[in-house]
Structure 1
């Protein structure tokens, strides 16, 4: 492994489950849900975040279509949950990949197991590399449990980067 790859893998990232929806699209699913790691706050005023999504992913396409998404924070004891959203999703009733969700006023899934979520609207995007870099304004936020430690990529034994 190159030094560049090793160093980039030293960066610390949280784990989040992004949810979004297409504009009336039902295939591959009416909602998108994907575990994401490349997330950072980018501004205090207005409150902005930066997120990177693989260009060819349904999550990226759903965010492109709707312009909105949620980031569900993942508790430290929910590694199994985070692992279920690296691949295709399966929606059965009010569950996605077996995890119960409700909808925000804008129709975005929020998982009941999430200690908190933020809802965002896209304000800019860059298509320079193999990931779309999205700048989004935080438009809503709900904290359900403030005593939950959050799951970090380094705590899982997984790697994404380099």
Structure 2
């Protein structure tokens, strides 16, 4: 029998970074705070990005076949907060945020440590998230620094 409290406690011990995942669909752009992200292969360079199935961003990734991950710096908690999914869509999340469109057309945060842009090469719908496998097709470094980690914010996502 699964001990629910032990499961929740231990799954929350798995460390995660915080990123802004930029997505697009034709002329529309969006972004969300992503934490279930990891490198999955050296050659070809692959990244796994898990996205809630019922989100608009999930639909945009499916439609466009691309996404970009802006790697936030330790101390950019407010930036991560700005891109959390609201209960309902309110305005443009990129309002007052400097960004540019990368090679994929996805938004990239100018004030991030850097980014990777990915082309979706696989996906698995399982549970309440879609696991997108993206091949890294572009990358850039804006500056050096330590990445923002979920545990440093006091927030929890998992369990």
Which residue of structure 2 lines up, in the alignment, with residue 133 of structure 1?
A: 131
1:149 matched to 2:146? The reply is yes
Which residue of structure 2 lines up, in the alignment, with residue 40 of structure 1?
A: 38
Choose from 10, 27, 52 the match for 1:7: 10
Q: Which runs of 4+ in 1 moved over 6 A?
A: none
Which residue of structure 2 lines up, in the alignment, with residue 90 of structure 1?
A: 91
Distance 1:3 1:66 in 2: 39
1:77 matched to 2:75? The reply is yes
| Displacement after TM superposition at 1:89 (Å) | 6.0
| Displacement after TM superposition at 1:159 (Å) | 0.2
Which residue of structure 1 lines up, in the alignment, with residue 108 of structure 2?
A: 110
Which residue of structure 1 lines up, in the alignment, with residue 62 of structure 2?
A: 64
- Does the 8 Å CA contact 2:22/2:69 hold for their aligned counterparts? yes
- Does the 8 Å CA contact 1:89/1:96 hold for their aligned counterparts? no
Distance 1:90 1:34 in 2: 14
Cα distance per residue 1:113-154 (max 9 Å; x no partner): 1110000010000011100011110000000102x1111000
Q: Which runs of 5+ in 2 are unaligned?
A: none
| Displacement after TM superposition at 1:104 (Å) | 1.4
Aligned length: 153
Two-structure CA RMSD over aligned residues (Å): 1.4
| Displacement after TM superposition at 1:23 (Å) | 3.3
- Does the 8 Å CA contact 2:23/2:106 hold for their aligned counterparts? yes
Taking structure 1 as reference, are residues 2 and 97 closer, same or farther at Cα in structure 2, changes over 3 Å only? farther
Distance 1:150 1:124 in 2: 26
Taking structure 1 as reference, are residues 89 and 153 closer, same or farther at Cα in structure 2, changes over 3 Å only? farther
